Amino acid sequence: MSPTPIVVIGRVSKILDKAREDLMPEYDAIHMLNDVDQSVKDLPLLLSTPAKTPEGSKTNAGSQNYGERPRAIAVGGAFDDAMFKQLKDACTTVDTGIVWLRADRSYPMPSLSDTDAFGAAVAKRVKAKLNELGVGSEAGSSKEGVYFF
């Protein structure tokens, strides 16, 4: 079975890289974003049916496996409520069947200075929540909504 495509949004590139690596083989971070403005441009394209490849994606640090629409979007803890709302609002016409994950900032995490440990912890938590919701399985297709990881 091929990995389930997802999008990962976070501020620190090294953390994103480690999270992408550790999400495999179950989940494929096809596109990674680290700011609201670019996310607002790219997400509606990625979530459209059929999915469209965002302009400038050749340099994106995600796997760039754009053949299938992502099933989930994981948003890191550096994105506050207002930023998250901007992301969601940009996707109102294409946001169907998508699981949105938000970081639970009350959960203990490694130091941000240890980007490998932090990225690994993010991936572990994201995987656990996606598995819990059944994302990537037929049962998970009805679990759309916002969940904390």
CATH classification for the domain delimited by 4-148, as one of 3.40.50, 1.10.3470, 3.40.1130, 3.30.70: 3.40.50
Cis amide leading into 25 (omega within 30): yes
Q: Which pLDDT band holds residue 86 (cuts at 50, 70, 90)?
A: very high
Residue ranges per structural domain of the chain: 4-148
pLDDT, position 142: 63
pLDDT for 11 = 97
Tens of pLDDT, residue by residue over 100-116, are: 999 999 999 999 999 99
- pLDDT(87) > 70: yes
Which H or E run includes 9?
strand 4-9
List the structure tokens of 76.
């890191």
Tell if the pTM clears 0.85, that is, is over it. yes
